[in-house]
Amino acid sequence: MLFYVIAILVFAADQAAKWIVRTNMQLGEIVPFWEGHLTFSYYENSGAAFSSFQGYGKYFAIVAVIFVAAVFYYRRKGELRGPLLEAASGFLVGGAAGNGIDRVLYHQVTDFLIFGDGGGILNLADLAINAGTLLFILHLIVEQVKSRLHKRKQIN
């Protein structure tokens, strides 16, 4: 259930935020929000992260569909269990679906968040993908620690 709640909330929040940006800002408009910490800037990205592979967004939509299908496949097999993996996969699927639907409908992704003094422009789907990746890494670390503790108990 955690997986579905997170995936749906991420997807809905991402799409709502992008709609607000597209309807209330001009392309290229910059709105300082929190001096030195957060700026809103309306940008349309037809490529991938860091504006790489411009014009190839449709291929990333295919990757998103394959990724989401793979997550559902492994969930059905029971290989993505536990709160960390449920949350991680929910964030990843919600983010992939949010950016994927943009690529299918608009052939580009709406980005609008700049943190600090630059270094990239993101959207909520991107943030969710980053959160999901961090949770997945945390899961791997936790499992590694559990495995080592279990092996030590067997030795003693």
The pLDDT assigned to 58 comes to 72
Return d(Cα 55, Cα 45) in angstroms, integer: 9
Q: What is the mean pLDDT of residues 127-141?
A: 96
**DSSP class of residue 81?**
-
Q: Judge contact between 45 and 109, C-beta under 8 A.
A: yes
Q: What does the pLDDT read at residue 55?
A: 61
Q: Residue 21 CA to chain centroid, in angstroms?
A: 18
State pTM to two decimals: 0.85
Structure tokens that stand for 10 in this block: 């991420």
**Active site positions, annotated:** 111, 126
What pLDDT is stored for residue 147 in this prediction? 83
- Mean pLDDT computed over 83-95: 96
Q: What is the DSSP letter of 48?
A: S
Structure token pair of residue 35:
């001096």
Please state which of the ranges 8-17, 75-84, 147-156 shows the lowest mean pLDDT. 147-156
Q: What are 92-116's pLDDT values in tens digits?
A: 999 999 999 999 999 899 999 999 8
